[in-house]
Chains A and B, each alone.
Chain A
Amino acid sequence: MIKTVIMPKQGLQMTEGVIIKWFYSVGDKVTANKPLFQMETDKLTIDIDSQFDGILLKIIHGEGETIPITEPIAYIGDEGDNISYIVLPETDLKAADNKLVFASPRAKKTAAERGINYKTLKGSGYSGIIIERDVLCAKPAEEKKPASPEVKRLDAASVRAQAYHKVKVDMSGVSKFCDILRAGGVNAGTFTVTAFAAVKALSHYLHLNADDVNISLGVIMPCDDEYKKTDIKNAERMSLIELSDSMNNAETQDGSVFAVADYGIFSMEESFIPLRQPLCAVLTAGAVSDIPTVSDGAVIIRPMMTLMLTYDYNKINDVYASKYLQHVKLLLENPNLLLI
């Protein structure tokens, strides 16, 4: 499998880095947790370890180049892996344009329709002719075009290793808690309380927040026809009321690495969210619905909600992620703990 090496984000302020030295050449064997390249930011010079074992298939950006964070800089894979399926950067496209490449008329037509430069592909027909299925396997070029940072993030996100855990939470305590708040003039719904609990728990599991004690909480909510993410700075310092107000008025985008998502609005039970850069984990709250549950051998109807934690498996240990989710569940089932 081909893995992408990206320009890593070293510290919250970093937006780009300079590649100082590659410790390997293309074709060399690389080892996980051994230095792969050296880079420099405006603050430090650091050796970056490879995250993968394998063969260095391609170096996209050479020494001395300044690269924005999350931009792919190299590909690592196994012996015999074919990197032609990955659309190459502009310079390679120019070289490819001058190459004599055989492709079926249909492959050319489909490539043109999809905005793919077929000359960058590897053909699977006899003698390597490019046929339609090679084009259909390739990623459209639009995704790769170095346009907006958002597009770059999408691209990087598509190669991340995602895992998820989910847990059912009894929300009867939170329901009562919300009723009490409403009686006291505070209009906070279950999602606000969930977000509050997520932040509370996060301060014990800061690895999910890139080890930053300052929690910038991403909030993913439907807005018009799409889900939009807004970020709330310093969420860990906020009271429930402040968080509620901020969630209703948030407009900023701060590159938060942790987010909560409200999919309960459309009665979704659970939703698997793709991790977009620079997100490291997303906690998704589903709809609260009355479900028969077993308690002390008796069947009782309870308002239940599914919480799902999607996280970057390359960065977060799965036990760690499970424990965090368990902690949020504990807080929501015992909302009094939120006062501590």
Chain B
Amino acid sequence: MSEKSYAMAIRDTMAQEMRRDANVFVMGEDIEVLGGIFGCTRGLAEEFGAERVRNTPISESAFIGAGLGAACAGMRPIVELMYMDFTLVSMDQIINQVAKTRYIFGGKAKIPLVIRGQQGVGRGNAATHSQSMEAVFMHFPGIKVAMPSTPADACGLLRSAIRDDNPTMVIEHKQLYVMKGEVPDDPDFMIPFGKANIVREGSDVTVIATHTYVHKAVEVAERLAAEGISVEVIDPRTLVPFDTETVVNSVKKTGRAVVVHEAHKTAGVGAEIAARIMENAFEYLDAPVIRLGAMQCPLPFNLGLENAVVPQPDDIYNAVRRTLWL
């Protein structure tokens, strides 16, 4: 185990995989000399050279398409997006090409492509650089989606993604890059996709949270524990495939659930999770499942307003109590 930041866990994992497999390479904007604006590729160019750490023009559609082509041809590309918001300019490549190619070729073409990058609020990056994109990629079949919430998860999930023969989206969070944590040194450490993490066990209410909200939910759970309310916190870790079983079993135990994420509440991932709970554990529910997410408005530039738009720990606290009819 070594203590490292989320960003360094990502960089080290990519470096280890590039050493292990010569077909693994990275491309993206400002990743070579600068090492990416969040430092996730820092030092990689020195070790692996510009051929394997490739700077791209500011044209996400072009370089995601290039990644897809390279993957079809037998390479294992990792494409870094500076902001996940930029998937919007390359949506045809991702949804129509990356997610469909394996299917269209009857499974004969493997697409070991990783698209990774950060999203979310916390830096006042304003409406077009703070969005949460996961719901879109969960919606369209053909692409796996991981959302690591800790340095260890970032390492284990990214490695699983790189070694997967299917296209994978690893969605990171800008606020988490500086988070430190223990990361296994084992160069084969992987976290399987589709296996949720029960971060904290509890018996009264299940809180399903992603990214930064995993930590906020744990913090709220500690606060509620002092009031005698036992909260179970589950981090699904991957949205595609989604570990419905772990979530449903937890809700069967607790009878109450709160789903919280930073993305907009409307038609968000929380709606999907809430519906799965209802479909699979309806008779176990003692209260309606509560969803928490950003308000239906663009994310503000002002940090104070940003906080007003996305859920706060107090919102989780109140939601948990509401499921207990308190």
List chain A positions with a Cβ less than 8 A from chain B: 104-109, 124-126, 129, 131-132
| A107 proximity list for chain B (CB < 8 A) | 286
**Can you pick out 6 interface pairs between chain A and chain B where the beta carbons lie within 8 Å of each other?**
A104-B286, A105-B283, A106-B255, A106-B284, A131-B286, A131-B287
Instruction: Identify which of A104, A106, A131 gathers the most chain B CB atoms within 10 Å of its CB.
Output: A106
Listed from nearest, the 3 A-B pairs whose CB atoms lie closest are A106-B286, A125-B325, A105-B283
Q: Considering the complex, which residues of chain B in the window 184-203 have a beta carbon less than 8 Å from any beta carbon of chain A?
A: none
Complex Cα spacing A129 to B288, Å: 12
Q: Is B301 an interface residue (CB 8 A)?
A: no
Q: Is B285 an interface residue (CB 8 A)?
A: yes
| A109 proximity list for chain B (CB < 8 A) | 283-284
Q: Is B86 an interface residue (CB 8 A)?
A: no
Complex Cα spacing A331 to B163, Å: 88
Q: Which B residue sits closest to A107, measured CB to CB?
A: B286
Complex Cα spacing A125 to B282, Å: 18
Among A125, A126, A132, contact of B255 (Cβ-Cβ < 8 Å): A132
Check if A106 sits within 8 Å of B285, measured CB to CB: yes
Complex Cα spacing A107 to B286, Å: 6
Check if B284 sits within 8 Å of A131, measured CB to CB: no
Complex Cα spacing A107 to B282, Å: 11
> A85 CB to closest chain B CB, in angstroms?
16
Complex Cα spacing A107 to B284, Å: 8
Complex Cα spacing A221 to B287, Å: 48
Q: Which B residue sits closest to A109, measured CB to CB?
A: B283
Q: Considering the complex, which residues of chain B in the window 140-161 have a beta carbon less than 8 Å from any beta carbon of chain A?
A: none
Q: Which A residue sits closest to B278, measured CB to CB?
A: A105
Complex Cα spacing A105 to B255, Å: 9
Given A105-B282, A106-B285, A125-B325, 8 additional A-B pairs, CB 8 A: A104-B285, A104-B286, A106-B255, A106-B284, A109-B284, A124-B325, A125-B287, A132-B255
Complex Cα spacing A10 to B32, Å: 99
Complex Cα spacing A126 to B287, Å: 10
Complex Cα spacing A262 to B203, Å: 42
| A108 proximity list for chain B (CB < 8 A) | 283
Check if A105 sits within 8 Å of B284, measured CB to CB: yes
| A124 proximity list for chain B (CB < 8 A) | 325
Complex Cα spacing A222 to B255, Å: 42
Q: Which B residue sits closest to A112, measured CB to CB?
A: B283
| A132 proximity list for chain B (CB < 8 A) | 255, 286
| B255 proximity list for chain A (CB < 8 A) | 104, 106, 132
| B283 proximity list for chain A (CB < 8 A) | 105-106, 108-109
> B64 CB to closest chain A CB, in angstroms?
45
Instruction: Identify which of B255, B286, B287 gathers the most chain A CB atoms within 10 Å of its CB.
Output: B286
| B287 proximity list for chain A (CB < 8 A) | 104, 125, 131
Q: Which B residue sits closest to A108, measured CB to CB?
A: B283
Complex Cα spacing A129 to B285, Å: 13
Q: Considering the complex, which residues of chain B in the window 267-286 have a beta carbon less than 8 Å from any beta carbon of chain A?
A: 282-286
Complex Cα spacing A108 to B284, Å: 9
Complex Cα spacing A124 to B325, Å: 8
Q: Which B residue sits closest to A104, measured CB to CB?
A: B286
| B325 proximity list for chain A (CB < 8 A) | 124-126, 129, 131
> A105 CB to closest chain B CB, in angstroms?
5
Q: Which B residue sits closest to A106, measured CB to CB?
A: B286
Complex Cα spacing A129 to B322, Å: 13
Q: Which A residue sits closest to B286, measured CB to CB?
A: A106
Complex Cα spacing A76 to B255, Å: 35
Complex Cα spacing A139 to B284, Å: 21
| A129 proximity list for chain B (CB < 8 A) | 325
Complex Cα spacing A237 to B282, Å: 67
Q: Which B residue sits closest to A105, measured CB to CB?
A: B283
Complex Cα spacing A131 to B287, Å: 8
| A131 proximity list for chain B (CB < 8 A) | 286-287, 325
> A172 CB to closest chain B CB, in angstroms?
51
Complex Cα spacing A105 to B282, Å: 7
| A105 proximity list for chain B (CB < 8 A) | 282-286
> A111 CB to closest chain B CB, in angstroms?
11
> B160 CB to closest chain A CB, in angstroms?
36
| B286 proximity list for chain A (CB < 8 A) | 104-107, 131-132
Q: Which A residue sits closest to B251, measured CB to CB?
A: A106
> A102 CB to closest chain B CB, in angstroms?
12
Complex Cα spacing A104 to B282, Å: 9
> A109 CB to closest chain B CB, in angstroms?
5
> B257 CB to closest chain A CB, in angstroms?
12
Complex Cα spacing A105 to B285, Å: 6
